[in-house]
Amino acid sequence: MYQGVVSEFFHYPVKGLDRQQLDTVSLSPGNGFPTDRMCGFARFDSGFDPASPKPLAKNNFFMLMRDERLAELYTHFDPETWAMTVKHKGNVVLDVAMSEPDGRREAEAYFASLLALPAHQIPTFVHADPHRFTDVSVVSTELMNAVSLINLSSVAELGRCIGKAINPARFRANIYFDGWPPFAELDLVGREITIGTVRAKVTLRTRRCAATEVNPETAVRDMPIPRHLKEAYGHSDMGIYVEIIEGGVIRTADPITCPVIAG
């Protein structure tokens, strides 16, 4: 049996912006990680309609794959009050109520300025609950509500392979865990795992894109993660998506297990 422990977990209330750590989280079947990617900044030509939300490719929104300068920011979004604070180089540059039209317009203008966009390309802050702006929302509703996991042993193994330490934050997962063999998780598609009292089914391996090239501490593209994965292992996968089958509350240090089927 693979036996490990949950190290930490995060949600990302606004797509492309900071992760926010949680101490506990309640997961329920089919509903994904609470408030994860619930909002986003849509590009001026995205065509996203909050009144009739349809999944769109991630490049229709601000995100690290195209907009590495977002990593320069410290951001916090309160999912209950919709208050958003943004710091740049230690200074508060935005402190607004995203529930108010004026607050949204101020935030939209700030991000357009940060990315040096012309006036006609100002983004739109979007929200269409229960729609989520996850990268795999275009695959299916089920995957739009999937929870992402990273095995820290796999990250460490890739780091040893390339001779450089890798910050696991590059992978922007919901749940980080340790204690399993490196890359064991990639062979579990279709299998069930348990996280504390939660039962989940592994639905997909996570294929990595250029967003992981961005150093979350410096906002510099300094490590071609997809290329390193491909050269070392013949694929560009790091992490898995799971569908919640039986809900419950999870906490840091909860066990994460999966029976090993003898070959």
Judge if 108 and 10 occupy the same domain.
no
In a domain, 44, yes or no: yes
pTM: predicted TM-score of the whole model, two decimal places: 0.95
Residues 65 and 90 in one domain: yes
Of the three residues 91, 114, 133, the one that is the final residue of a domain is 133
pLDDT digits (tens), the chain, 263 positions: 899 999 999 999 999 999 999 999 999 998 999 999 999 999 999 999 999 999 999 999 999 999 999 999 999 999 999 999 999 999 999 999 999 999 999 999 999 999 999 999 999 999 999 999 999 998 888 889 999 999 999 999 999 999 999 999 999 999 999 999 999 999 999 999 999 999 999 999 999 999 999 999 999 999 999 999 999 999 999 999 999 999 999 999 999 999 876 55
Domain end among 108, 133, 158? 133
Residue 122's domain comprises 39-133
Total domain count, the chain: 2
Clarify whether residues 143 and 252 are in a common domain. Answer: yes
Same-domain pairing of 250 and 148: yes
Per DSSP, the residues of 138-207 read: GT-HHHHT-EEEEEHHHHHHHHHHHTS---GGGG--SEEEESSPTTGGGG-TT-EEEETTEEEEEEEEEE
122 and 154, same domain (yes or no):
no
Determine the 3-state secondary structure of 9 from DSSP.
strand
